[in-house]
Amino acid sequence: MDRRQFIATGVGTAAALASRGVAAQPRADEPKSDAGTRLPQSVCRWCFPKHSLTDLCAMARRCNVQSVELLDPEDIERVRENGLQCAIANGPCTITKGLNRLEQHDAIVRKAETLFPQIAKAGCGLVIVFAGNRDGLDDTTGLWNCNVGLRRLIPIAEANNLQIAMELLNSKVDHKDHMGDRVKWGIELCHTVTSVTFGLLYDIYHMQIMDGDITRTMCDNWKWIKHVHTAGVPGRGPLGPNQELNYRSIIGALYGAGYRRYIGHEFMTQGDAEADLKAAIAECRG
């Protein structure tokens, strides 16, 4: 069986594997919500460039946010010193140069061999990766190549008690030519890799632009989702009445389906950053 045949049969194979319990399951060490009635919340560091990391941590605590995320190891340690967690760390590849090309794997693996132990020592349990841009590469070959690369990264992650999440990004507005731009492609990759160590970072903003059908898709596939990102659509602004998504309904349904991991806020503030963050927290109670 060649790689195209393997990928073509992946969904059926995955269904059989899932029936035997191979599909990604929640870990015992997942974050717990403060009273069992809401999902743990996180905020992305890069969205608050006018705030120092110390100031952002203070704001997060005031807003009852448990995590500041997308950090390098030294900043993970600083956040933990401020009494917070880092829900997901920066990983060994970039948005444009990711796992979809075999010739990039050696450099990514070498970086992971150094970075993953540092992330684990700093106290974070989840690392982000990306597919990379197409640059003329077809999606089937790119998916297979991502599978090959992930199978090299997963043992390094497991040796450090880490998990890996690939973020899906829109290629229509923000990340032209990005390969991992559809939920179907991402789920097929999960089916191909079939490891509980690997799953998706489901960014609601990106996938609303590309696919829509957010609530049903997330609820049907929540076991493959390691992390969630939010932002208002259109424009990547704050959550609330001036954008098209009903986050209160979406997150409530996701919680009802069984998701218990972090909700990470990755929107651009418009005015009062703390008020915007508090509003987002209110919209995303589980």
Check residue 286 and give its pLDDT: 64
Q: Copy the structure tokens of residue 14.
A: 């995955």
Q: What is the CATH number of domain 38-283?
A: 3.20.20.150
Q: Copy the structure tokens of residue 191.
A: 């089916």
User: Do residues 75 and 94 touch, judged by C-beta distance below 8 A?
Assistant: no
List beta partners, residue 71. 89
Q: How far apart are CA 196 and CA 150, in angstroms?
A: 12
Q: How far apart are CA 285 and CA 225, in angstroms?
A: 18
Q: How far apart are CA 61 and CA 148, in angstroms?
A: 40
Check residue 31 and give its pLDDT: 52
Q: Copy the structure tokens of residue 49.
A: 């460039």
Q: How far apart are CA 225 and CA 90, in angstroms?
A: 17
- pTM recorded for the entire structure: 0.87
Domain boundaries, the chain: 38-283
Residue with the two structure tokens 């070498």 = 110
- Cα 152 to chain centroid, rounded: 19
**Residues in Cβ contact with 209 at an 8 Å cutoff, skipping those fewer than 6 apart:** 170, 172, 173, 233, 234
Q: How far apart are CA 219 and CA 222, in angstroms?
A: 5
Q: How far apart are CA 152 and CA 112, in angstroms?
A: 10
Q: Give Dmax (Cα) for the chain.
A: 57
Burial label for 285, CB within 10 Å (0-12, 13-18, 19+), is: middle
Phi, psi for 192 (deg, rounded to 5): -75, -40
The dihedral of CA 21, 127, 151, 10: what is its sign? positive
What does the pLDDT profile of the chain (286 residues) look like in tens digits?
Answer: 343 444 444 444 444 344 333 444 434 345 544 433 489 999 999 999 999 999 999 999 999 999 999 999 999 999 999 999 999 999 999 999 999 999 999 999 999 999 999 999 999 999 999 999 999 999 999 999 999 999 999 999 999 999 999 999 999 999 999 999 999 999 999 999 999 999 999 999 999 999 999 999 999 999 999 999 999 999 999 998 889 999 999 999 999 999 999 999 999 998 899 999 999 999 998 6
Check residue 16 and give its pLDDT: 39
